[in-house]
Amino acid sequence: MLMVELYYLCHEAVVTCNRKNENSRFQKGEVNDMVKAVVGANWGDEGKGKITDMLAQGADIIVRFQGGANAGHTIVNDYGKFALHTLPSGVFYHHTTSIIGNGVALNIPILFQEIQSIVEKGVPMPKILVSDRAQIVMPYHILFDQYEEERLGGKSFGSTKSGIAPFYSDKYAKIGFQVSELFEEELLAEKVERVCEMKNILLQHLYHKPAIDVKQLLETLHQYRDMVAPYVCDVSAYLDKALKEGKTVLLEGQLGTLKDPDHGIYPMVTSSSTLAAYGAIGAGIPPYEIKEIITVCKAYSSAVGAGVFVSEIFGEEADELRRRGGDGGEYGATTGRPRRMGWFDCVASKYGCRMQGTTDVAFTVLDVLGYLDEIPVCVGYEIDGEVTTEFPVTAKLAKAKPVLQNLPGWKCEIRGIRKYEELPENCRNYIEFIEKQIGYPITMISNGPGREDIIYRNKPII
Ligand code: GDP
């Protein structure tokens, strides 16, 4: 066959395939045989859990690739309302396999409590695999997290005290424990002794706390080994085979771009990368396999923990949005802490989407804004008298003041609407205004916490 003919044949196939994708890519049950990532554009709590749970319907495998039990996803489905911290948001389906990837900070007792709690609520026992390369959150990581926050006092990072920062510090200091090491008794005992020697110096002399009992720790690790044994898997080999068989894989991120240790509001960030690009590493797949990056943006802002939050609002205005927000108020899924509230931030979200490599934006919790006459949107940052729409480094961010623009509200309930054209005009204007500001296509609009509360929209040309 002539090269030119071959080119046109391939080109046509790609165009047809794209057209099919444009029209109904996310519709229920469609088999897409590819890897998609669901990640957050902002500070987390954008509604990734709901979007993952929804997309999991058309997926075979869902992988958590970073983070730990320090943040949670809230999911509402036919079984009830759940706050998941470690389990991927696909555990509610019979047909999916849920994977804890090597990039995760694995808290074994929490994983098991979570499995137990969903099964107790009537969810069928999910199929779970845990990477043999995932590292374990040790009991002393949680203690170090608490002690360090105490030591820092008012200068603390607002940690959830789940041991995440000490865990990742140890991982990169090469004194972490991989799941696979639990099964090498002699090496394990020797390493526990060696690591505790160092930890105990810090515990006793920096924090003035009791030393770790090595024997007791080893016993705890034996319990962990027995708990995790049935699930341990060479995940990268499993995923390689699955992808060759044409399976659809969802990578589920935790938190959002602005909490990324490299590209976020350092040092008020989390300790593992929250970017879709890290999905390849934290799951163990080639980066080129990730074909769709669905970045979740909430229709207003919220944040937990310390750090600059330019579009933040306070007082009664914030209380009202917090009360009405999410599904039953904006309070942390892990800590129950009231979240900090703010208007939609186009500067942070444009950057958040860019760093994720967004192919699609899922715009969530839009229904909540129906009470407002006017909706302020942050369209720029004023820094040293100049207005910018580029998200700055932390030192400059501290000086940023929000430039707000008011958009007219729609003043009605939009839950239950399933077609984009049926949304009130001001609501569509709000969506399209934000889409233009951030420069990425909004193809899904979430107007309620349930799986069915979703409006699909064809990819517009921005
Ligand atoms: P995640 O960490 O990104 O998964 O976010 P959260 O678990 O904090 O989810 C945000 C909250 O909003 C949860 O309580 C969800 O049930 C809820 N939620 C998600 N999408 C929507 C939506 O479109 N409308 C409303 N009202 N609530 C939503």
Q: What is the CATH number of the domain that holds 175?
A: 1.10.300.10
**Token pair listed for 177:** 């424990």
| 235-251 pLDDT tens trace | 999 999 999 999 999 99
Give the domain range for residue 13: 1-25
Catalytic site includes residue 263:
no
Instruction: Say if residue 21 is in the same domain as residue 59.
Output: no
The answer to the question of residue 220 being in a domain is yes
- Number of domains making up the chain: 3
Mean pLDDT over 303-329 rounds to: 92
Instruction: Say if residue 224 is in the same domain as residue 238.
Output: no
Measured from the Cα of 81, ligand 1's closest atom is 16
Give residue 131 CA to ligand 1 midpoint distance, Å: 28
| 166-180 pLDDT tens trace | 999 999 999 999 999
Average pLDDT score over the chain: 90
Distance CA 361, CA 354 (A): 11
Q: Which residue out of 73, 85, 141, 263 is catalytically annotated?
A: 73
Q: What is the CATH number of the domain that holds 75?
A: 3.90.170.10
The answer to the question of residue 353 being in a domain is yes
Instruction: Say if residue 122 is in the same domain as residue 155.
Output: no
The answer to the question of residue 462 being in a domain is no
Q: With 0-12 CB in 10 A as exposed, 13-18 as middle and 19+ as buried, what is 91?
A: buried
**Token pair listed for 448:** 């309620």
pLDDT grade, residue 32 (50/70/90)? low
Instruction: Say if residue 379 is in the same domain as residue 442.
Output: yes
pLDDT grade, residue 1 (50/70/90)? very low
The answer to the question of residue 226 being in a domain is yes
Instruction: Say if residue 338 is in the same domain as residue 452.
Output: yes
pTM for the whole structure? 0.90
Instruction: Say if residue 83 is in the same domain as residue 7.
Output: no
Nearest CA to ligand 1 atom 13: 74
| 199-230 pLDDT tens trace | 999 999 999 999 999 999 999 999 999 999 99
